[in-house]
Structure 1
Amino acid sequence: MTAGHCSDSGPFNSDGSVSFFHLPWGGIVGRRLIGPMARPDMSVADMGFISKRNPDIGVIPSIRNTDDQEFPELIIYGTLDSDTVGSTVCKSGYTTHVTCGEILAFGVTVTFLNGMEFNGLIKATHMSCGGDSGAPVFQFAEDILPGIFITGMVTGGSEEQGVCVIEPIAKLITDDIYVLTINDPI
């Protein structure tokens, strides 16, 4: 899963899908095909699903944090519905890596430049979100570090306003969609 708007600019495959690749932080070569994302239905949330087609790419229940020597890998223990203004949330994005901010508000409505409107979002202090759309947002599980709980996904932000906008986990997870955790068999 990633932000649905990440497929807006293509390049489009002949079937209208967009191919997505894994590219490590700071990587300029070595990208590996994950698979295509069909045109997403963003009527409920800014999310799209990448169909994993490359058998050489695996999934693991962790988030990269290699800028931190003490906890270079963060282990996903589950999901958490954030519900407290002022609580700290972090994200791990391709462009700005792991950065953190504080929750400012819940139930926020945002209209993006393309005219799409999304509601029920979380607004947080700026976590350097430019180029990090689709990044997982999480909170640390203090008693089980380097454990974390996924709380949402970056959908956008505003440099001028100093905010980051997050799709809450409750809008992303359904009965047939879940977050892989350390407790799941791989």
Structure 2
Amino acid sequence: MSGGEGILLYNNITKKYCSFGFLARGKRNYYFATAGHCYLESARCFLVPWESKFTPTAFIGKTFFHRLEKIDFSLITIQNEDFEPIPTIRNTDSKVFPDLLLTEDYIVVSSNGAHLCLSGLISHVKCGFVESLNGFASIYAKYVSENIFAVSMVGENGDSGGSVFSYKQDMPEWYSEFG
């Protein structure tokens, strides 16, 4: 399982499709991180690969923790022992680079014009450029998020929580596949 792969969260009442962001490790358990607004109380979580047409293929675990304020973030406990997370970002629409290797755990976005990409269930991989730093937005008419940045790309419902990444060096030649 790679970052950007799809997940179905289901609690017998509601279901949501989102995307995996990255693997996180606690003292005793491994988790997958996704967006906090993807969280459903007592939800079971299933793998939904890009090519599955929204059909879950394997049980992964249960929702564990979430937060909406300051950072939109949640964790899913990995409970399936047969499940093997891979430290890559899904990019299987590309024949040249179907898996993008992770080399750093965080991104520093420090200037307008910097490039950012996302990998998610609906959009797969798409890239854009930072247009604004240090903005703010009202989320769900209850919370105000600060220090957000605007990028010249739009994710779709189901991409929430997916991996956001950048490249340290100049954009690779294959970047035009996503531009």
Q: TM-score, normalised by structure 2?
A: 0.69
How many residues are treated as equivalent by the alignment?
A: 139
Matches within 5 A, 1:106-145: 106-142=133-169
Specify which of 103, 115, 120 is matched with residue 93 of structure 1: 120
d(CA) in 1 for partners of 2:50, 2:85 = 17
Q: Structure 2 vs 1, CA of residues 77 and 17 (structure 1 numbering), >3 Å: closer, same or farther?
A: same
SS in structure 2 of the partner of residue 5 of structure 1: helix
Question: In the alignment, is the contact (CA less than 8 A) between 2:90 and 2:98 conserved in 1?
Answer: yes
| Partner secondary structure for residue 48 of structure 1 | strand
CA shift, 1:121, in A, is 1.4
Q: Which amino acid aligns with 1:34?
A: I
Structure that is richer in strand per residue: 2
- The 1:43–1:72 alpha-carbon spacing in structure 2 relative to 1, beyond 3 Å, is same
Alignment partner for residue 52 of structure 1, among 41, 54, 78?
78
Does residue 105 in structure 1 map to residue 137 in structure 2?
no
Identity %: 29
**Please, which runs of 5 or more residues in structure 2 have no aligned partner?**
1-32, 173-179
1:74 is aligned to 100
RMSD: 2.2
Residues 122, 129 of structure 1: alpha-carbon distance in 2 compared, 3 angstrom cutoff: farther
Query: Aligned in 2, Cα 1:47/1:26: closer, same or farther, shift over 3 Å?
Result: same
* TM-score between the two structures when normalised by the length of structure 1: 0.67
Give unpaired runs (5+ residues) of structure 1. 11-15, 146-186
Give distance in 1, aligned partners of 2:60 and 2:133.
Answer: 33
1:139-186: per-residue Cα shift (whole Å, max 9, x none)? 1244797xxxxxxxxxxxxxxxxxxxxxxxxxxxxxxxxxxxxxxxxx
Of 26, 30, 34 in structure 2, the residue corresponding to residue 2 of structure 1 is 34
Distance 2:42 2:65 in 1: 6
The 5 Å alignment of 1:159-174 reads none
